C-alpha cells in the first residue's frame, strides 16, 4: 500500500464536527479497517477536535485547526494541531482506572480517555505558550 | 436537522425522545431538554435513545448530568433502548453500568 495522506484545515466551529466525522469515517473504512473499529476511530478523532474547539479556543469559531490523516503499511496516524490555549498536562494523563468514573467526569476529561482507549498510541504535545498537537496511532492488520 | 428532540408526558412521567447525532454542537439542546423536564407527580424521567445515530463524550456528560439532577429531584432517570452507538460510547466510557437501562418506560 502506498502512503495515503489527507490534510484539512478547518475553523473551530462545532457545526463542522459532523463533516469531519464523515471524512474520517470514509478514509478509515477505505483502509479496510473493520466497521466497529472505524466507529471508534471516528469517535476518538471527534473527541480530539471537540477538545480543540471547546478548550483550546473556548468555543470561539475563528480558531485554526489542522487535521492530518496518514496511512502507511501497518499504521494509521492522525495528527491534530491547534493554535489555542495549551492544555494543562494534568488533563492529558491516561487514567488507569477500570471502574465507572462518573464522579470524575471532568470537562474534556472523558474525551481524552476515550482517545487513549481507541488508539494504540496517543501523544500530546501542548505548546509552551500556545497551541496543541496530538498524534494518534493505530496498528493496521493485514 | 442534525438532532431532533421531542418531549412526551404520560401520567406525570417525562420521556425525551432523541433522533440524530449528539455531539458538541447538538448536545446543548439535549442538555436543555433534560434540565427543563420536570415530571409532575410522576416518578420517572426517561430519555429514548433508540434513534441516536452518534453520541460522543459531550452527550455522555449530558446523560450523567441528567442522572445527577434527577436524583436531586428524587426522580428516576432511565435510558430507554439506547442504540448501538450509544451503548458503545457508554461502554468505552465505563459508564454502561451506572445507568438504569430499559427497553421501554
B76-80 and A75-82 beta bridge pairing = unpaired
CATH number at residue B91: 3.30.750.24
Contact criterion met (CB < 8 Å) for A50 and B56: yes
Among A residues 15-74, those touching chain B with beta carbons less than 8 Å apart: 15, 17-18, 21, 39-40, 43, 46-47, 50, 53-54
Q: What are phi and psi of A101, to 5 degrees?
A: -115, 50
Residue with cell 502507511: A72
Tell me, what's the pLDDT at A92?
93
Q: How far is B67 from chain A (nearest CA, A)?
A: 10
Tell me, what's the pLDDT at A103?
54
Mutate to test the interface with B, among A21, A50, A98, A116 (most CBs of B within 10 A): A50
Please give the DSSP secondary-structure letter assigned to residue A71: E
CB-neighbour burial class of residue A77 (10 A; exposed 0-12, middle 13-18, buried 19+): middle
Q: Could you give the CA distance from residue A110 to residue B35 in angstroms, rounded to a whole number? A: 21
Which residues of chain B have a pLDDT value below 50?
Answer: none
* Domain extent at residue B90: 3-102
Contact criterion met (CB < 8 Å) for B89 and A43: yes
Residue B27 CA, chain-centre distance (Å), reads: 11
The verdict on ipTM greater than 0.85 is yes
Question: A14 at the B interface (CB within 8 A)?
Answer: yes
pLDDT digits (tens, 9 = 90+) for B52-74: 999 999 999 999 999 999 998 89
Beta strands in chain A, from DSSP E residues, in sequence order: 4-11, 64-72, 75-82, 121-126, 132-139
Domain boundaries along the sequence of chain A: 4-139
B44-55 and B13-22 beta bridge pairing = parallel
pLDDT digits (tens, 9 = 90+) for A87-139: 999 889 998 766 555 555 665 589 999 999 999 999 999 999 999 999 999 99
Q: How far is A2 from chain B (nearest CA, A)?
A: 32
CB-neighbour burial class of residue A22 (10 A; exposed 0-12, middle 13-18, buried 19+): exposed
Radius of gyration of chain A (CA): 15
Fold of A4-139: Heat Shock Protein 90 (3.30.565)
pLDDT digits (tens, 9 = 90+) for A29-57: 999 999 999 999 999 999 999 999 999 99
Q: Which of A14, A101, A111 sits opposite B94 (nearest CB)?
A: A101
CB-neighbour burial class of residue A100 (10 A; exposed 0-12, middle 13-18, buried 19+): middle
Question: A96 at the B interface (CB within 8 A)?
Answer: no
B13-22 and A132-139 beta bridge pairing = unpaired
The helix/strand/coil state of B86 is helix
Contact criterion met (CB < 8 Å) for B24 and A100: no
Tell me, what's the pLDDT at B34?
95
Tell me, what's the pLDDT at A97?
67
CB-neighbour burial class of residue A115 (10 A; exposed 0-12, middle 13-18, buried 19+): buried
Amino acid at each position: 500500500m502506498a502512503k495515503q495522506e489527507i490534510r484539512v484545515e478547518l475553523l473551530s466551529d462545532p457545526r463542522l464536527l459532523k463533516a469531519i466525522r464523515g471524512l474520517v469515517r470514509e478514509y478509515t473504512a477505505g483502509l479496510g479497517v473493520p466497521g466497529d473499529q472505524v466507529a471508534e476511530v471516528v469517535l476518538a478523532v471527534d473527541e480530539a477536535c471537540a477538545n480543540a474547539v471547546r478548550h483550546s479556543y473556548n468555543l470561539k469559531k475563528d480558531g485554526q485547526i489542522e487535521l492530518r490523516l496518514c496511512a502507511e503499511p501497518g499504521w494509521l496516524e492522525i495528527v491534530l494541531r491547534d493554535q489555542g490555549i495549551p492544555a494543562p498536562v494534568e488533563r492529558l494523563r491516561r487514567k488507569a482506572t477500570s471502574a465507572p468514573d462518573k464522579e470524575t467526569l471532568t470537562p474534556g476529561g472523558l474525551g481524552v480517555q476515550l482517545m487513549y482507549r481507541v488508539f494504540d498510541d496517543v501523544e500530546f504535545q501542548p505548546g509552551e505558550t500556545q497551541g496543541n498537537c496530538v498524534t494518534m496511532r493505530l496498528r493496521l492488520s493485514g | 436537522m442534525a438532532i431532533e428532540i421531542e418531549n412526551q408526558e404520560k401520567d406525570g412521567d417525562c420521556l425525551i425522545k432523541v433522533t440524530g447525532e449528539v455531539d458538541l454542537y447538538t448536545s446543548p439542546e439535549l442538555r436543555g431538554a433534560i434540565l427543563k423536564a420536570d415530571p409532575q407527580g410522576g416518578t420517572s424521567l426517561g430519555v429514548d435513545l433508540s434513534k441516536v445515530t452518534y453520541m460522543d463524550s459531550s452527550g455522555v456528560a449530558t446523560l450523567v448530568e441528567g442522572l445527577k439532577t434527577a436524583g436531586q429531584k428524587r426522580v428516576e432517570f432511565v435510558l430507554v433502548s439506547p442504540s448501538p452507538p450509544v451503548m458503545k460510547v457508554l461502554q468505552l466510557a465505563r459508564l454502561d453500568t451506572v445507568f438504569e437501562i430499559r427497553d421501554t418506560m
